[in-house]
């Protein structure tokens, strides 16, 4: 794709003049036809120039990759490391997640808010500091922690130490962190995130791990805890076999036993299944003939499944419900002890056999009574309207 000429739009042209060559270098890292995967480092590349992903930056990425701006915007708005508005020279992040919060992270953040006069994702008037609270900075053993442009700056932070840090940054100083790389500006950090080496002297430090990180190893050494027969010089074995002739050689499995005929192999299984199918079919035929003849259904497990399910769903009214007593109401339920409740129950006659209204003599009487009541009610309404 480095040989392809792109006609940039007026929006993307200013960035293309400055970033086209490093952008093509990024694209060359990916196989042909897979250049779209370069979108993430390209967005960081845009931030090296402008400090955030501007609309012009979105247009530049879209046009050099041959995709639309909506696709670029979907990625740029998903990751928090892509800023969508101008950001300060130094992005100060305070962890306020569980462990850092318990150990004072929120107090550190609140102290910076009060001192700088800005809140989350806001920038000071001089354009030096953008403050943000972070969910996790992956340094729980140094909690609470503060980073500057994603590099660790202060471990075991206190509100006073955080305020001193931002004041040094606002004065143009770059204090040396207790561990890790030297502090850089946000644009310089974007160069590294885009995949390019930072040429500053001492930009990348290689300091030893801190005591909290090594605490587990130290305790193991103090108490003589070690893995049995462990040798640190033992080479790590590969997960895949070596691709040589010996690895590809196939061991002779010996004579292959003669295959049994299909009938011999599966005959028993097929016969067993066939016998079960025939038995089930015979049972169904017997039940159908039994119901056609109108023969009475036997009690117990021989009862027709439909009848058994219906009776379980709605027992006969003459059979009291389980646990009910025959004293009190006609259906066998106990009579209410409260007078008002008893009066209400008397006005609501039990359904009895549970058949739909109109399905028997009693149901027909209920329907007729209800119909007569509706007629009387409608008659009263008509008289009132006439008056």
Q: Quote the tokens at residue 29.
A: 């890292």
Q: Quote the tokens at residue 312.
A: 């379980």
Domain with CATH 1.10.10 in the chain: 13-76
Rounded CA-CA distance 116/122 in Å is 10
- Can you state the angle between helices 39-50 and 186-193, rounded to 10 degrees? 160
Domain with CATH 3.40.30.10 in the chain: 90-186
Class of domain 13-76 as given by CATH: mainly alpha
Query: What are the helix (H) ranges across the chain?
Result: 13-27, 39-50, 55-65, 69-76, 98-102, 105-116, 159-170, 186-193, 215-222, 245-248, 262-292, 305-313, 339-347, 361-386
Chain centroid to Cα 94, Å, comes to: 25
Peptide bond into 271 cis (omega under 30): no
- Ordered per-residue pLDDT tens for the chain, 387 residues: 445 567 889 999 999 999 999 999 999 999 988 989 999 999 999 999 989 999 999 999 999 999 999 999 999 999 999 999 999 999 999 999 999 999 999 999 999 999 999 999 999 999 999 999 998 998 899 999 999 999 888 899 999 999 999 999 999 998 888 777 788 899 999 999 999 988 777 676 656 677 888 888 899 888 888 888 878 788 877 766 555 555 454 455 556 555 555 555 555 666 676 777 778 777 777 776 766 666 555 555 566 666 666 666 665 545 554 544 444 555 556 666 666 666 666 666 555 555 554 455 555 666 567 677 767 777 777 676 665
- Under 8 Å between Cβ of 153 and 146: yes
Return the CATH number of the domain spanning residue range 90-186.
3.40.30.10
Q: Quote the tokens at residue 315.
A: 């027992």
């Amino acid at each position: 794709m480095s040989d392809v000429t792109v006609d940039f739009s007026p929006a993307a042209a200013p960035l293309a003049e400055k970033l086209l060559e490093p952008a093509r270098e990024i694209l060359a890292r990916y196989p042909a036809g897979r250049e779209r995967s370069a979108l993430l480092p390209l967005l960081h590349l845009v931030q090296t120039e402008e400090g955030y992903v501007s609309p012009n930056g979105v247009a530049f990425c879209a046009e050099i990759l041959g995709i639309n701006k909506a696709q670029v915007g979907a990625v740029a708005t998903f990751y928090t490391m892509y800023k969508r508005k101008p950001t300060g020279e130094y992005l100060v992040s305070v962890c306020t997640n569980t462990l850092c919060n318990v150990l004072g992270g929120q107090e550190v953040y609140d102290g910076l808010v009060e001192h700088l006069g800005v809140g989350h994702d806001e920038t000071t008037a001089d354009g030096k500091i953008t403050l943000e609270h972070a969910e996790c900075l992956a340094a729980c053993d140094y909690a609470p922690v503060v980073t500057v442009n994603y590099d660790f700056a202060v471990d075991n932070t206190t509100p006073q130490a955080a305020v001193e840090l931002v004041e040094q940054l606002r004065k143009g100083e770059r204090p040396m962190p207790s561990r890790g790389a030297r502090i850089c500006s946000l644009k310089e950090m974007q160069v590294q995130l885009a995949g390019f080496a930072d040429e500053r002297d001492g930009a990348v430090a290689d300091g030893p791990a801190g005591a909290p990180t090594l605490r587990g190893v130290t305790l193991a050494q103090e108490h003589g805890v070690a893995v049995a027969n462990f040798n640190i010089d033992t080479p790590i074995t590969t997960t895949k076999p070596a691709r040589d002739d010996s690895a590809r050689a196939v061991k002779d499995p010996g004579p292959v036993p003669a295959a049994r005929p299909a009938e011999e192999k599966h005959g028993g299984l097929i016969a067993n299944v066939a016998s079960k199918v025939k038995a089930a079919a015979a049972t169904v035929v017997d039940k159908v003939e039994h119901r056609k003849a109108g023969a009475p259904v036997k009690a117990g497990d021989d009862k027709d499944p439909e009848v058994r399910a219906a009776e379980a769903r709605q027992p006969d009214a003459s059979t009291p419900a389980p646990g009910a007593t025959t004293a009190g109401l006609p259906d066998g339920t106990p009579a209410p002890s409260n007078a008002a409740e008893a009066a209400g129950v008397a006005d609501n006659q039990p359904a009895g056999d549970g058949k739909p209204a109109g399905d028997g003599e009693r149901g027909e009487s209920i329907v007729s009574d209800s119909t007569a009541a509706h007629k009387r009610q409608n008659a009263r309404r008509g008289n009132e309207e006439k008056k």
